[in-house]
Amino acid sequence: MFKFIRIREVGLRDGLQLSRTRISYETKIKWIKRQCEAGFREMEVTSFVPPSLLPQFSDAQKVVDEANKIEDLIPSVLVPNLKGGLNALKSHSKKVLFVISASEQHNLSNVNCDIKQSLLMFNDLIKERKNSDLDKKVKISGAIATSFGCSIQGHVKEKDVLDIADKLIDIGADEINIADTVGYANPNQVSNLFKKLIKLSDKTPFGAHFHDTRGMGLTNVKSALDEGVTLFDASLGGLGGCPFAPGASGNIATEDCAYMIEAMGYDTGIDLNKLISLRKSLSKWMTEDTLLGNLSNSGLAKNFKLNH
């Protein structure tokens, strides 16, 4: 048996929020279904944000409704505040990621409030879930953005990330996602931070979200894997980035990430041939965007074997 590593596709959310292409609702659903056929069991399918800010997510309710019908899929959604979180609960989202930045300046830019206010809203969202009898039906995760540095503030203290994570655990987060929003992380930094994070709780799982802005995305995945992290976000074709942080481009490419993890002897449950086929379709859908990643060009190595 090989250790299972979960890859969560975030292209439909993180990938589209910086995209110049506006794909239709029908294309989004086609994308979700084909990625599920390739073996994905969790996808971040949309975000509940004001359409005036990010009109590409104006169909959020419709996307969630359709994604919820897919057997064995956990469609997750990202929310920036309590209002978005309440909308996600009303939409019957199965998993909600509430984003808070470790950088005070980025939090103000991204969600228009300070970190303390974001934590209070997260607490209110957990209470609302409990009051609405959704405790066992909806998972609520905390996503800590700019955990390794910020293109607005610059340095982010490791202690600040640990303090926010500790508070999220105390409030009742089901999972905590640590994000390198602007691609500042290096492998030693990743290793050191996750060593300390994992000591905070033996019950709350930690995930990682890396950007390849400076070419260190996959090496950072390796460092997190070595510390026991088993959940990674990735975006097909390396699409995406944060629209409220200068220079925050370039998620790690899902296909490259899955290939590396499988080549290292882990099991992702992903059919890489089907994923490469979807990646080729994506290049036809995202006509105004440049897609990244290497596997779609090079293909699988002759000596490569899937671990499932």
Tell me which residues are annotated as active site: 242
What's the 3-state SS for the chain? CCCECEEEECHHHHHHHCCCCCCCHHHHHHHHHHHHHCCCCEEEEEECCCCCCCHHHCCHHHHHHHHCCCCCCEEEEEECCHHHHHHHHHCCCCEEEEEEECCHHHHHHHHCCCHHHHHHHHHHHHHHHHHCCCCCCCEEEEEEECCCCECCCECCCHHHHHHHHHHHHHHCCCEEEEECCCCCCCHHHHHHHHHHHHHHCCCCCEEEECECCCCCHHHHHHHHHHCCCCEEEEEHHHCCECCCCCCCECECEHHHHHHHHHHCCCECCCCHHHHHHHHHHHHHHCCCCCCCCCHHHHCCCCCCCCCC
